[in-house]
Amino acid sequence: MHDWVIGGSPEGDGIMIQVETPDIIFSTVKNNEARKPGCFGAEIYLPNEDFAMDIEDNKLTAQKTVGGEFGATPHCGRGSTVALNFEICKEVPRCEQLESLLDKIMWTINLRDNYGAMSKVASSEAELHTMVNLDLNDRYPNLDIQDEKFLKENAGGYNIHNGEIVLPNLCKGCATRPLCVWDREGLRIHEKTHELDVLANPELKRLYTDTLYQMQNFTANGLAREQARVRGEMEYHAYDEYARYLMDILQLELSQSTGCNFDPGFYVDLNRMLNALK
């Protein structure tokens, strides 16, 4: 498949966009019945005001029929269309990314402290996660922490049964770089810390996976409370490592000539987080 080619130029009171469709060839194993779409491309006209609105919305969507309504054109089947859909990525200034990085550090330390404190009172692992998420939802009311889509796109995972680590793709599409790269590495460190904790203490894995060990050492309620306590300690350690990595990145960036004029509150929060990591 050849790359798509998209070009544009002013025309009258608008913009003419030239789109070349991909050249894809389908064939059998013996390669004796090759077929290809055959629609070579299209010109799509957008008035200046429509194009300006698309740029403001960071996306552009347009479509043009290139096949005849009642019959095929020389290259396209009847009813064929060429659709143009793409995001317009805007570069986020480095200084804004550093402000977002500090916000992420505060978020991570808050999670660390919540897991550490709430594991002492939670009666089960499920209750522990619920208590932590409720606190986050109070602090960030516009963000549904327990939403499946949010978790899939932003949370990693460590499977204590098989040792598998899963990380989300934080740098897809118009994701802000290098901020997304830093955050993904922080997530990897978080999950890797879980793995190293389990490898260093085999009884952690038995606590969650060995039924006989569970029955011999705990009542049902006692097991649930112990799992909540241990999970809280593991999350405290993992989020602590996560936050320390992000803080190292932030301090390295600030030690260089950034040319940023941060609000005084930035440095107040920075010092508060540095003290939290001592």
Range scoring the smallest mean pLDDT among 14-23, 75-84, 106-115, 168-177: 75-84
Average the pLDDT over 94-108 and give the result: 95
Query: In this predicted structure, what is the pLDDT of residue 79?
Result: 63
**What confidence tens digit (pLDDT) does each residue in 207-217 have?**
999 999 999 99
Report the alpha-carbon distance of residue 158 to residue 50 in Å, rounded: 47
Report the alpha-carbon distance of residue 82 to residue 76 in Å, rounded: 10
Per-residue pLDDT band for 4 (boundaries 50, 70, 90) equals low
Report the alpha-carbon distance of residue 208 to residue 149 in Å, rounded: 27
Range scoring the smallest mean pLDDT among 20-29, 146-155, 223-232: 20-29
The residue whose two tokens read 């029929």 is: 65
Report the alpha-carbon distance of residue 78 to residue 146 in Å, rounded: 47
Q: What is the CA radius of gyration of the chain?
A: 27
Q: What is the reported pTM?
A: 0.74
Per-residue pLDDT band for 71 (boundaries 50, 70, 90) equals very low
* Element at 15 (helix H, strand E): strand 14-20
E-assigned strands of 127-271? 157-158, 165-166
CB 39 within 8 A of CB 80: yes
